[in-house]
Amino acid sequence: MTNSTLLEPPRTLGWQGDAHSGWLRMIDQTLLPGELREIDCDTLPAVREAIQSLRVRGAPAIGVAAGYGVVVGLRGTQSLGKTAFLKEFAGVKESLATSRPTAVNLCWALDRMAGVIQTISDWPGDERLERLLDEARDIEREDREMCAAIGRHGSAIITDGCGVLTHCNAGGLATAGDGTALSVMFAAAARGKQFRVYADETRPLLQGARLTAWELQQRGIPVTVICDSMAGWVMKQKRVQVVVTGADRIAANGDAANKIGTYSVALLAKAHGIPFYVAAPSSTFDLSLAHGDEIPIEERKPEEITRPYGRQTAPTGVDVFNPAFDVTPAELIAGIITERGIIRPVNTTTVAGVLQPSHHRNAGLRKSA
């Protein structure tokens, strides 16, 4: 397939077939925008590799993939008794949980599947696997609903004729639905608003240039790609009136971890008097962490910087620091757009007021507002 004939991209990921012989199908995002290819993962190592190598990425999509990863990882355990089955699940959970450390949706989804495991461990083997597939499908369905609700709540921050800056990719490719930050833009466009998006290219892996620009083009939304280092000047020229990004983990006080470079964008927005918003579902909040200093930050291979896409761009043997994420303090965030509404001002009290009454790590998410 090529993207030139598409009006909008296919589903980022989803399950094919039944619990016993089906598989997880996803877009291989490492090939975009040059090639649109779907890959099938029917083993635990295949799902883990897809998450770790960024074939699937974005906190919500990683969570969905993890749910389905449990299903494929426990295939063949139908004859096991309770103790052996629980031991097998512990290995599957550990394998998936260590694939990427920062995106909280990964562990959230695994904890949710673990809650189901505890209730079905005495069931017949075939029924156990079918129940787990049902739960994974619920995680995917609820993520689509949350994306739609985030769009509805957030579309009002985009005004007709404005410029919107975003960093990295928080669109349909990062979720099971329309995305988080991009769902705000898709919803605004559906309401007839005219605006332009400025997409930071997002070094070193260029998710903004490769993925965000591609998604916006598919939906007919005007988009301009800029180098990360151009964001301040674009703001200075008054081309941007609002910033919207996604997040991979949000602490209880509203500090938000997102792709490296987001913190810099938030500082620039503050300096230019531009509101900086984060769009994320409730599953991205980690209320066990008081503030952002407690969020684990993934460090990736130096070759992503020294040899991007196979071409050497730095001296051999040079020291490299390659954190995949940074943390934007709550005081720089004008509001966090969730499926339950916009949290503002952003602090421990307002976050708790929106999330705590129905935020349970292992109980699943309520239907979107």
Q: Is 248 a catalytic residue?
A: yes
Give the separation between CA 226 and CA 244, rounded to whole angstroms. 15
String of DSSP letters for 3-69: GGG-SS---SEEEES-TTT-EEEEE-GGGTTT---EEEE-SHHHHHHHHHTTSS-SHHHHHHHHHHH
- SS percent in the chain: helix, strand, coil, step 5: 45, 15, 40
Longest dimension (CA), the chain: 66
Cα 332 to the chain's mean position, in Å? 21
Backbone angles phi, psi at 282, to 5 degrees: -60, -25
With CA atoms as reference, report the closest residue to 130 among 14, 13, 18, 44. 18
Give the separation between CA 348 and CA 356, rounded to whole angstroms. 11
> What radius of gyration do the chain's Cα atoms show?
20
Q: Among residues 200, 228, 248, 326, which one is catalytic?
A: 248
Catalytic residues: 248
